[in-house]
Amino acid sequence: MKKLIITSVVTLALAASLNAAPVSFDFKDPKGVNALQFSLDSVLEPIAGTAGGVSGTVSFDPANPAATSGKIVVATKSLVVPNATMTEHMLGNNWLDAAANPEIAFQLSKLEGVSTAGNVTSATATGKFTLRGVTKDIKVPVKLTHLADAFGKRINKPEVKGDLLVLRGEFMIQRGDFGIQPGKNDDKVNPEIKISIAIVGSAPKA
Amino acid sequence: MRRIPQTIALGLFVATIGFWAVKGAHTGWSQNRVPRSKTDEVTGIVYTVYENRYVPGIDLLAGGVGLAGALLAVSFLLRPKNKTDQPT
């Protein structure tokens, strides 16, 4: 009897640990919703735009969110603003030089100050942010929302199992720090750029 | 001689302001794509979609009105119609 109880407890513990294994979430969204948003003050009105070419993977364990790792990549040429001429200038070699720097990336090094309430984990993400070929360490306050078994519902196929991970965050950068017209045109285009992310990763279960 | 450029200037002025007003009187830069917010029901993510249409902004308004003003100014440099040619 005692042997049976021990075996059962060990089996349950093993099953729980397997269930809590990190899951890899793919941030190339099948619905095309994922985008990075950016805005900066300028003459006449703020310049605001989006970048839809988001990809990358994040490994997340709901039982141990502090162990989260991953990388998010944005295709530079996917950046757009409502004015076509401004978009052309922004991607040109005087500003982002999209041809020579095809990717904007954030490589997560670690999560700090992790706290979880329900399915929402708040933390500060420390990592390496690369823009226009320049990489700098930055800290980003983030919220990770784990939506268990929501993948099928989102693609209108409830029979398909899988989880979603929503990643939200907002941070500021100085464009001059990344070699984008440092010290130039500050009276026309603010040196500070606000970047917001609200993206979802999918982890379908086979 | 002055009447023709003055008429064109007036037409350009009215057309520019009319086009800008009818297309939404947008007080920012001209837009080639118009952003619209949508919400993903399952995740609650608010995202942007773009409608491919042109919305004239202050730059077009300033260009049109400025050109009309320049045309009007040029018209005053032209010789006025000779009154002695008119039948008495």
Q: Do A44 and B34 make contact, defined as CB atoms within 8 angstroms?
A: no
Whether residue A92 lies inside any domain: the answer is yes
- CA-based nearest residue in chain B for residue A168: B45
B39 touches chain A (CB under 8 A): no
Distance from CA of B44 to the nearest CA of A (A): 9
Whole-number Å distance between alpha carbons of A34 and A198 = 7
Q: Do B47 and A150 make contact, defined as CB atoms within 8 angstroms?
A: no
Whether residue A16 lies inside any domain: the answer is no
Domain that residue A180 falls in: 22-204
- What does the pLDDT read at residue A84? 96
Whether residue A190 lies inside any domain: the answer is yes
- Residue corresponding to tokens 């989880």: A163
Q: What is the pLDDT of residues B52-63, one digit of tens each?
A: 999 999 999 999
Whether residue A146 lies inside any domain: the answer is yes
pLDDT in tens, chain A (206 residues): 566 566 655 554 444 444 568 999 999 999 999 999 999 999 889 999 999 999 999 999 999 999 999 999 999 999 999 999 999 999 999 999 999 999 999 999 999 999 999 999 999 999 999 999 999 999 999 999 999 999 999 999 999 999 999 999 999 999 999 999 999 988 889 999 999 999 999 999 97
Count of domains observed in chain A: 1
Strands A134-147 and A79-80: unpaired
- What does the pLDDT read at residue A44? 86
ipTM for this model? 0.83
Under a CB-based contact definition with an 8 Å cutoff, are residues A22 and A59 in contact? yes
- What does the pLDDT read at residue A187? 87
Distance from CA of A107 to the nearest CA of B (A): 22
A120 touches chain B (CB under 8 A): no
SS3 B60: helix
Rounded to two decimals, what is the model's pTM? 0.84
SS3 A63: coil
- Residue corresponding to tokens 């784990």: A146
Whether residue A7 lies inside any domain: the answer is no
Q: Nearest 5 degrees, angle CA A190-CA A86-CA A79?
A: 85
Q: Do A84 and B43 make contact, defined as CB atoms within 8 angstroms?
A: no
Could you tell me the pLDDT band of residue B1, with boundaries at 50, 70 and 90?
Answer: confident
- What does the pLDDT read at residue B80? 76
Question: What beta strand segments (E) does chain B contain?
Answer: 34-39, 46-51
Under a CB-based contact definition with an 8 Å cutoff, are residues B50 and B34 in contact? yes
Question: Which helix or strand (DSSP H or E) is residue A12 part of?
Answer: helix A2-19
B58 touches chain A (CB under 8 A): yes
Q: Do A84 and B44 make contact, defined as CB atoms within 8 angstroms?
A: no
Per-residue pLDDT, averaged over B34-40, amounts to: 96
Per-residue pLDDT, averaged over B10-33, amounts to: 96
- What does the pLDDT read at residue A4? 59
Q: Do A154 and B43 make contact, defined as CB atoms within 8 angstroms?
A: yes
